[in-house]
Amino acid sequence: MKAVSLSFIGFGNVGRGVARVLMEKKQFFRDRYGLEFRVVSISDSSATIWNEDIDLKEAIMIKESLGSLSRWTNDYELFDFRPVDVVREVESDIVIDVTNDPKAHVWHLEALKQGRSVITSNKPPLAFHYAELTEEAEKRGLSYRFEATVMAGTPVITLLQEGLKGDTIESIEGVFNGTTTFILSEMEHGMSFEEALEKAQKLGIAERDPSGDLRGIDAGYKGTILHCVAFGPMAFDRIEVQGIEGITKKDIARARKRGRTIRLVTRVEKGRVTVRPMEVPESSPLAVYGASNAAVIRGDLIGDIVLKGAGAGIRETASAVVNDIIRASTRL
């Protein structure tokens, strides 16, 4: 049995989702991979708990009932750490970033320098600092993995990294943002843009500030990350992004008349990433619905591969984070 210690930074929906999977499937990870995970620290924005083997069940309960880890005063000492302190102070094999911290690259880099592998579902560090982070990891023989950043648990990054090594990738085209898919679908059914957005916010699909989704920033992050994986580094500020805010019911009706639907399509080719609303035929793999994402990957040998699956969801995102944890652990 190999013991692997983990530091969680962030303990929101995704963090707790990962923690739940680690608890529920403890025996599976032992039997199948000979891995035994111990969580040695958990940080949210209020506090860090730090202990050689944290009781995940209790941690989840406290967080969900009391709202923040700082309220947990019974069993563990609380620390007032910034993430960069956590990765310096807490001895762990793997640091798991499930925050939305836009400056997380600073402590990702510090974690690597401390000899810890890093797994992240947080996109900006990748979209802005890919080369620096992956080179540091490479140099030190550590893992830096980020499957959850694109298509949640649908393993598009692993497929690109491990499944098409002989191919020269020619292009990747996909629908990677569920919020815009939801709004565009609702508009097809007659709602205005504003009504559809309001519904998405009520259902918790769109964030209170939905501009990152609507303006194509989220899809742009994902396109940038895929470019980095398939073609090498790309600066996010060089990509071309157009959101769905200009789309009217008329546009959608016109598309429907031609048997088409409008989706926010991300296209990645060597040196170029574009995000824009496009008419796609109803029969196209890109005509997705709900939280489904789809990618069409074109390689010089294999031709077109279609990969479809969940692009959101707690368990679905946990699937990717846990896959990364296991892959990183077997390298330790």
- Residue 307 touching its own copies (CB under 8 A): yes
**Exactly one of 100, 188, 308, 332 binds its own copies (CB under 8 A); which one?**
308
The residue written with tokens 């199948």 in the block is: 32
Nearer to its own copies, 200 or 294 (CB): 294
**272: amino acid identity, one letter:** R
- Residue 25 touching its own copies (CB under 8 A): yes
- Residue 306 touching its own copies (CB under 8 A): yes
Site for its own copies in 271-290 (CB under 8 A): 285
Smallest separation (angstroms) from its own copies to the CB of 67: 26
Number of residues that bind its own copies (CB under 8 A): 41
Nearer to its own copies, 84 or 291 (CB): 291
Dihedral in degrees, nearest 10, Cα atoms 269, 152, 13, 115: -70
**Exactly one of 64, 77, 135, 304 binds its own copies (CB under 8 A); which one?**
304
Of 273, 182, 177, 198, the residue nearest 231 (C-alpha)? 273
Give SS3 for 74: coil
Nearer to its own copies, 31 or 240 (CB): 31
**Exactly one of 159, 198, 215, 272 binds its own copies (CB under 8 A); which one?**
159
- The answer to whether 318 touches 17, Cβ cutoff 8 Å, is yes
Choice among 222, 250, 257, 308 that is catalytic: 222
- Residue 196 touching its own copies (CB under 8 A): no
The residue written with tokens 């309001």 in the block is: 198
- Residue 158 touching its own copies (CB under 8 A): yes
DSSP strand pairing (260-269 vs 169-175): antiparallel
Nearer to its own copies, 94 or 305 (CB): 305
- Residue 164 touching its own copies (CB under 8 A): yes
Give SS3 for 227: helix
Residue 222 appears among annotated catalytic residues: yes
- Residue 318 touching its own copies (CB under 8 A): yes
Stretch near its own copies under the rule CB under 8 A, chosen from 39-47, 103-111, 123-131, 313-321: 313-321
Smallest separation (angstroms) from its own copies to the CB of 69: 24
What lies within 8 Å, CB to CB, of 25 at 6+ separation is 322
**Exactly one of 83, 124, 153, 243 binds its own copies (CB under 8 A); which one?**
153
Angle between helices 193-202 and 178-188 (to 10 degrees): 130
Smallest separation (angstroms) from its own copies to the CB of 20: 10
- Residue 166 touching its own copies (CB under 8 A): yes
Q: Distance (Å, rounded) from C-alpha 97 to C-alpha 94?
A: 10
Smallest separation (angstroms) from its own copies to the CB of 229: 13
**Exactly one of 38, 140, 272, 315 binds its own copies (CB under 8 A); which one?**
315
How far apart are the two ends of the chain, measured CA to CA in Å? Answer: 13
- The answer to whether 81 touches 87, Cβ cutoff 8 Å, is no
Q: Distance (Å, rounded) from C-alpha 99 to C-alpha 89?
A: 19
Of 64, 62, 60, the residue nearest 8 (C-alpha)? 60
Alpha helix positions (H), the chain: 13-24, 26-33, 56-66, 83-89, 105-113, 124-140, 156-162, 178-188, 193-202, 211-214, 217-231, 249-257, 314-331
Nearer to its own copies, 54 or 297 (CB): 297
**Exactly one of 13, 168, 211, 248 binds its own copies (CB under 8 A); which one?**
168
Catalytically annotated residues: 222
The residue ranges that bind its own copies (CB under 8 A) are 21, 25, 28, 33, 147, 152-155, 158-159, 162-168, 285, 299, 301-310, 313, 315-316, 318-319, 321-323, 325-327
